[in-house]
Structure 1
Amino acid sequence: MSSNIDFKALWQQQEAMAKPDITEVIKKAKNLKHKTRNKLILLNIVLIATVLLYVFVPGFTSHTSLITTKAGGVLVIFAIVLFLAASNRLLVDLFSGKPEADTFAYLTALLSIRKKQEFIQTRIMNLYFLFLSAGMLLYMIEFVRKMNSVWGSVTYISLFGWMAIVYFYIKPRTIKKQRSELNAAIEKLEAINNQLIQTKDAE
């Protein structure tokens, strides 16, 4: 069976009472793609700015003497580059897809987006936080050594306490919301697709 279905023609054959609002479903799915894309672009800008700040702004590396500081900076940059490489693959899908041209292809694109998004949310994010934490630990050694024990402890507790909150609380909640929105859009499109296929088979 060909997957290239004339959805508009088939939809016009449905009884008026049986028609879900396909236009509204497509609109919501499209808006979700745009929102996800814009958030990812903003995050990319912030991460790139962080790398540029470390590499080009005097004071971040030029006045450091310990190898741990430079090693920590390298790990932080590696974590950011790793995330950027994975997220930019997702951005390609987020910029593509024209629902008004081929609804089935748009559904396929959303499934691809979900797969890549889940990969980023699990493996990539875990590696990102691993390298970021190790990098920050090494990077801060030189500066914490110049503090007394109390302020040094406060610095590390504050830094890694915040990272723990992000990893164990904010990240799971954000992922849950993103998955819920995307899964809802996919389920509605799948329902429409299945109904239209059944209509075609019944002809």
Structure 2
Amino acid sequence: MKNDIDIKSLWKGQQVPVIDLSAVRKKIKYFRLRRMGESCAVIMLMMLALASGVTVWIHWSPLLSVTKAGIILLSIGFMLPVLSYGRQLRLYYGLKTDCSNVDYMSNLLKIKKQEHRQQHIVLNLYFLFLSLGFSFYTYEYTFYHSSPRGIIAYSVLLSWISLNWFVFRPYIIKKRNRRFSKLVKCIESHRDILMKH
């Protein structure tokens, strides 16, 4: 009686599962369109905030130079995301479905570097300029009021700044990283096949 089984022939005879690349391409397309929409929304919101800062300066002319400095710092803070998301928008626009898979991968790496820079440099500078800008801007309005009102106003402002720095900023970074890392893992798992097609 022969109990030996030829494992090599069984292994060679196995069907190789076909990987559905259309699902990967749909994920990439959905991700690309979503990020382009987010970038456009952020750019429009920041431009609206910048326009309202200019309107405040023109219609309610600040008396103290500290208030003007606050408006300038806020404007710089609002321009940083506009420039960063504008660059990111161009990179996502370059991530087209009709380009080769090698170009896809190189564009994704550029986007990953841009997002890393955006999360670690631009977002920190954005919150820094906003924190300083609001601190300077509210000085004039608390200066002419009594001390308890000024203390309350700055306490609320510091609470808001702390909430931004320690709650909103880490949440935004984690959320964006989680979405991007899911896409990169999906692409990395199919990288060899994508490079061949």
Does the 8 A contact of 1:75 with 1:132 survive in 2?
Answer: yes
- Report percent identity of matched pairs: 26
Paired residue secondary structure (1:108) = helix
Query: Is 1:25 the counterpart of 2:54 in the alignment?
Result: no
The equivalent of 1:91 in structure 2 is 89
Rounded to whole Å, the distance in 2 between the matches of 1:83 and 1:53 is 16
Query: Is 1:44 the counterpart of 2:30 in the alignment?
Result: no
Q: How many residues align?
A: 184
Cα shift readout 1:63-122 (whole Å, capped 9, x = no counterpart): x21110111111111121222222211110112222244223222212211110110110
Which segment is superposed worse, 68-77 or 97-106? Answer: 97-106
Structure 1 residues 108, 47: closer, same or farther in 2, change over 3 A?
Answer: same
The equivalent of 2:128 in structure 1 is 130
Does the 8 A contact of 2:46 with 2:81 survive in 1?
Answer: no
Larger gyration radius, structure 1 or structure 2: 2
Does the 8 A contact of 1:111 with 1:186 survive in 2?
Answer: no
The equivalent of 1:182 in structure 2 is 180
Runs of 4+ aligned structure 1 residues displaced above 4 Å come to: 57-61
Q: Structure 1 unaligned segments of length 5 or more: list them.
A: 1-14
Cα shift readout 1:17-71 (whole Å, capped 9, x = no counterpart): 4222211111112211211221121111111111111213466642x21110111
RMSD, aligned CA:
2.3
TM-score by length of 2: 0.83
The equivalent of 2:6 in structure 1 is none
Does the 8 A contact of 2:91 with 2:111 survive in 1?
Answer: yes
Between the two structures, name the one with larger relative contact order (CA 8 Å, sep ≥ 6).
1
Rounded to whole Å, the distance in 2 between the matches of 1:60 and 1:50 is 15
Superposed, 1:110-121 pairs within 5 Å as 110-121=108-119
Which segment is superposed worse, 66-75 or 180-189? Answer: 180-189
Q: Structure 2 unaligned segments of length 5 or more: list them.
A: 1-13
TM-score by length of 1: 0.81
Give the drift of 1:142: 0.5
